[in-house]
Amino acid sequence: MLIVITNIEGPLPGGRQLVHPITVVIEFDDGEVVVSEPEFHMHASAPTENEALNAFRRILSGYLDSLARREMTLGPQLRDQLNYLRSVIVSE
């Protein structure tokens, strides 16, 4: 297994943008690539690095929407995730 730690930045689906680069871990293992955010354990996987990074960007944007819809019922850990996502993602 190969593990790479890197930063991603730039556009997200839905007209959103990362405010600043965020650190991700990319794991290559048996034909699968997993991209994960180490602090809150958000992740995506796909057969290639590019596909996994694109899936991760979609998940970040979608997860922000999902948590925001349920904001009033979130426990402390999910509220921390929502606040983190709001701090790194803006609408263009």
How would you list the strands of the sheet with 89-91, edge to edge?
11-12, 16-18, 89-91
| DSSP-H helix ranges across the chain | 49-69, 76-88
Residue 20, pLDDT score: 94
Q: What is the three-class DSSP state of 55?
A: helix
Is the pLDDT at 92 greater than 90? The verdict is no
CA torsion 60-61-62-68 (nearest 10°) is: 100
Q: What is the pLDDT of residues 40-87, one digit of tens each?
A: 889 999 999 999 999 999 999 999 999 999 999 999 999 999 999 999
Q: Where are the domains of the chain?
A: 2-91
